Amino acid sequence: MFLLSTHYSLRCSTLVIALSAAMPAGLYSTLLMAVVYLGGCTYQPSNEQLEVWRQEAIARNGEMVADNAKNTQETEWNLAIQGETTNGKSVTLNWQQLQDLATTHVKTTDANYVIQPNQVFDFQGVPVSKLLQKFGYQPGVTEVTFIAYNSYQVTVNLEDLIKYPIILAIANNGKPMSRNQGGPIYLVFPQTQYPHMRQQYPQSFWVFYVSNIIVGTEPVRLRVGKQELNLADLETLPQVTISETVGYRSGWPSGKVKLHGVKMRNILDFAKVKLLTAGEVVVQGKRKTHHNNLNPAKLTSADIQNCDILLASKWGDNKQPIPAKMGGPITLAFGSECQAQTQGWRWVTFVEELVIKP
């Protein structure tokens, strides 16, 4: 069978869609990349940029197929719950714990199943409401962000998650969710029972390979070598503002945006990290399952010294904190004078760690 899997959410609501097929051996390969432009978008990517995104999607798909071939994801797959929970601590549920919680059935059509769009499936999984009840949420939280293994993300209204049986499915019609179906963990909305969800949470919200849940937005925590810095630490450093057309692919305006943060070189100096001429820094976002760092951003010592490479924690004219739905609280950004040499580099969201390689 064939499924349409959303591989990226691109800026200004441009979506790159990977058309995948199930192979006899249980693997699948990317057959075709297409671009769907949603209404209200003013940004038109060039053919060259589309080709870059296509190659990235194919490469990431290959990484996931290789992991699938190991036939270990069911025993190794974890789900991290982070952010503004009641105690503010990160919790990781292993596969056995998820199986124990996955007692809810939702019978609904699948927004990603395009061959027979009216076919109803029996999904079994963990209600997100049960996780919110178990781990809680702090006053003022209104949103929950779901992040996939391949860094795709969506944000859902907290009240809807409490009110409706929106589940993290691990089985479909009595069988474990395979990778080409969105498994091991697939975010499912009960659109047959509640038809209004077809418009409110269309196909792009049905997340494949869910690996992280962010309740609200996490506090600023940045590991640099053996140290951990918080927002107060970063705010003691010289603050820089750049105005750029950002390279983020989800939740950001399409035009120029003001980003406020700290230069990478100042952070390294603060942490007393010295890079050799041949050294590099890997900017790590959310850790993936299997500790597999897909497509990391690697910066050389020369890049860091010669360019305004920022870790931004605020944005806009009013210097608003960057929320989880935009990849916050910390994002990687590049100043305009770096654009020529950093073209095509990742603008990393959910930055958690700077891995130093002398």
- pLDDT tens digit sequence for 312-355: 999 999 999 999 999 999 999 988 877 666 556 678 899 999 98
Report the mean per-residue pLDDT for the chain. 79
211 and 329 co-located in one domain: no
Is the pLDDT score of 193 beyond 90? Answer: yes
Neighbours of 136 (CB within 10 A): 14
The whole-angstrom separation of Cα 4 and Cα 112 is: 5
Is the pLDDT score of 35 beyond 90? Answer: no
Query: What CATH number is associated with residue 310?
Result: 3.90.420.10
Share of residues in the chain with pLDDT > 90 (%):
52
pTM of the model: 0.78
The whole-angstrom separation of Cα 128 and Cα 93 is: 13
* Overall domain count for the chain: 3
186 and 266 co-located in one domain: no
Q: pLDDT class for 306, splitting at 50, 70, 90?
A: confident
H-helix segments, the chain = 47-69, 73-76, 95-101, 128-135, 158-163, 197-200, 231-235, 264-270, 301-306, 339-342
Q: Pick from 90, 95, 170, 6: which is nearest to 350 by CA?
A: 90
The answer to whether 215 and 132 have CB atoms below 8 angstroms apart is yes
Identify the domain containing residue 151 by its residue range.
Answer: 78-215
The answer to whether 340 and 229 have CB atoms below 8 angstroms apart is no
Q: Pick from 296, 347, 285, 33: which is nearest to 148 by CA?
A: 285
Share of residues in the chain with pLDDT > 70 (%):
74
137 and 211 co-located in one domain: yes
84 and 199 co-located in one domain: yes
Is the pLDDT score of 190 beyond 60? Answer: yes
204 and 284 co-located in one domain: no
Q: Which two tokens stand for residue 18?
A: 């990977």
The whole-angstrom separation of Cα 119 and Cα 283 is: 43
The answer to whether 108 and 120 have CB atoms below 8 angstroms apart is yes
The residue among 162, 197, 215 that closes a domain is 215
The whole-angstrom separation of Cα 340 and Cα 336 is: 8
Q: Which two tokens stand for residue 80?
A: 């991290």
121 and 203 co-located in one domain: yes
The whole-angstrom separation of Cα 266 and Cα 238 is: 8
- In tens, the pLDDT along 128-182 reads 999 999 999 999 999 999 999 888 899 999 999 999 999 999 999 999 988 888 8
The answer to whether 170 and 99 have CB atoms below 8 angstroms apart is yes
Q: 11-20, 107-116, 185-194: which range is least confident on average? A: 11-20
Q: 34-43, 83-92, 267-276, 311-320: which range is least confident on average? A: 34-43
The residue among 159, 190, 215 that closes a domain is 215
- In tens, the pLDDT along 63-119 reads 555 554 444 444 468 999 999 999 999 999 999 999 999 999 999 999 988 888 899
DSSP for 47-86, written as a single string: HHHHHHHHHHHHHHHHHHHHHHHTT-HHHH--EEEEES-S
The whole-angstrom separation of Cα 354 and Cα 282 is: 6
9 and 54 co-located in one domain: yes
49 and 134 co-located in one domain: no
- In tens, the pLDDT along 109-135 reads 999 888 888 999 999 999 999 999 999
83 and 206 co-located in one domain: yes
